[in-house]
Amino acid sequence: MVAHDPYAVTDMSELPESAFAPRDYRRGDLVTGEIVRIDAEGIVISAGLKTEGIVPPQEMRTLTDERRALMLPGSRVMVIHLNNRGPGGMAVFSFDQAQEKQVWEDLIDLHQKDSEVDAKVVQHNKGGLVVDWNGVRGFVPFSQMAPVPKEGRIEHLDARIGEEARFNILELDAQREKLVLTERRIWRQLRNEAKERLLEVLEEGQIVQGTVRSMRGFGAFVDLGDAEGLVPISELSWAMVKSPEEVVSIGDELTLKVLRVDKENSKISLSLKRTQPEPWDSVPERYQVGDVVDGTVTRLMDFGAFVKLEDWVEGLVHISELSARRMEHPKEIVYQGQQIKVQILSIDTERKRMSLSYRKVYGL
C-alpha cells in the first residue's frame, strides 16, 4: 500500500478514507508534524489528520533560542513518538531524540559515502581525542591521529581543544552510539600534496633548513616542513663516521644542501658536509712541504701505509719511505692505529693526495 502524506496534497478529496482516522504511531517512529502552537507546556503539533501531540519541555532541551525563534505556527518539525499518554490523551513526542536519531542517520549516510566530517575537539585522554559532531561524541585513537610530537605532547594536545578538524569515519554503530574517527588518511593526503608542491620548487644545489626527526644506520631523516629528506651517512661529515649519532641528534636544526630531487619516487637527498668547507680546500693553509706532523696509521697495504693527519686529510707513506732497508710488508715497521710523526714530501690538492716519509723523521 502506498502511504499518503496529508501535507503533500491540496485537494482533500484525493485522500483515502484511512487518512481521516487518527494515526497510530509506535514508540520510536520518526514523525514530521506541523506546529500548532508553542507555550509553557511545550510544542503542540499536528501529526496527521485528527492526531495532535505535544513535545514537553524536558524533550526539547537541545532546542536553541535561535531555532526556537524560527518555529512559528504552520512550520514543520521532526520529532520521535514516545507514547500516547500526554495531556488530554495527546501523543507525546521528543524533539531531542529526533535530532539525535537524525544525526546518527546523517552519520550513517556519510559513512556509506566515505565522506569527511568536520568535528570539534572537546578533550583528550590517555587513549586519544574526544570530538563532538552535532551533539554526538566521537573518539579518535592516538593511532588514528595526525602525528603528535614526543616532546611537549600534553601541550600539543591541550592546544587542539576547541579546534575544528576534519576526519573520516572509521567505525560506526548507531545502536551502541559508538563513533570512531580517523584523521590519518586526511593527514597523509595533505602531506603528500604539500610534498609534491615542495618537490616541484626544490632545486639541486639549493640551501634548505631542516630538523632531524629520526636516524638509521645509513643516515639521518630530516623534516623540511612539507617533506622529509635523507642525509646519507657519507654526507653528514667530511670525516669518516660509523653512525649518524656521531654527528647529529634528533631535534637538531640543520642547514643542508639539496643533492638530488627524485620527483618520480618522491625522494630528496641532502648533504650536511657540503654546507661546510671541504678540508682539502684549505690544506695548503695548514700544511707545507717539509713540515713534520703527527698522524695515525689507518691502513696497511703492500705498497705502503696510509696515515691520517686530520679528518678527511690522509697521506701515503710509500714502503720505500718507511725504511731504507728492504722489507716485505709495512707491518714490519708500523701497525694500524699507531701514532707516528711523518714529514710531508708533496701535496696535490686537486687529486687530494699527500706523500709522506717516516724514515726521514726517524732516520731509518
Distance CA 90, CA 12 (A): 24
Tell me which residue has cell 603528535.
148
Residue 178, pLDDT score: 92
Return the SS3 of 192: helix
* Domains of the chain, first to last: 6-99 (2.40.50.140), 114-182 (2.40.50.140), 201-275 (2.40.50.140), 282-362 (2.40.50.140)
Judge contact between 31 and 78, C-beta under 8 A.
yes
Per the document, the length of the chain is 364
C-alpha to C-alpha distances, 34 to 101, 106, 114, 284, nearest whole angstrom: 19, 22, 34, 95
Predicted confidence at residue 100, as pLDDT, reads 82
Tell me which residues of the chain have a pLDDT lower than 70: 1-24, 49-50, 364
Cell of 49: 489528520
pLDDT at 311: 75
What pLDDT, on the 0 to 100 scale, is given for residue 3? 43
**pLDDT at 112 (0 to 100):** 92
- The 10s digit of each residue's pLDDT in 171-216 is 999 888 899 999 999 999 988 888 888 888 888 999 999 999 999 9
- What whole-number distance in Å separates Cα of residue 219 and Cα of residue 258? 15
CB 141 within 8 A of CB 128: yes
- The whole-number pLDDT of residue 24 equals 65
Please give the pLDDT value at position 17: 46
The pLDDT assigned to 258 comes to 94
In this predicted structure, what is the pLDDT of residue 132? 93
**DSSP annotation string for 44-86:** EEE-STT-EEEE-GGG-TT--HHHHHH--TT-EEEEEEEES-S
Taking CA atoms, 227 is separated from 190, 230, 239, 258, in Å, by 11, 10, 28, 13
pLDDT score for 322:
93
Per-residue pLDDT tens digits for 309-324: 987 789 999 999 999 8
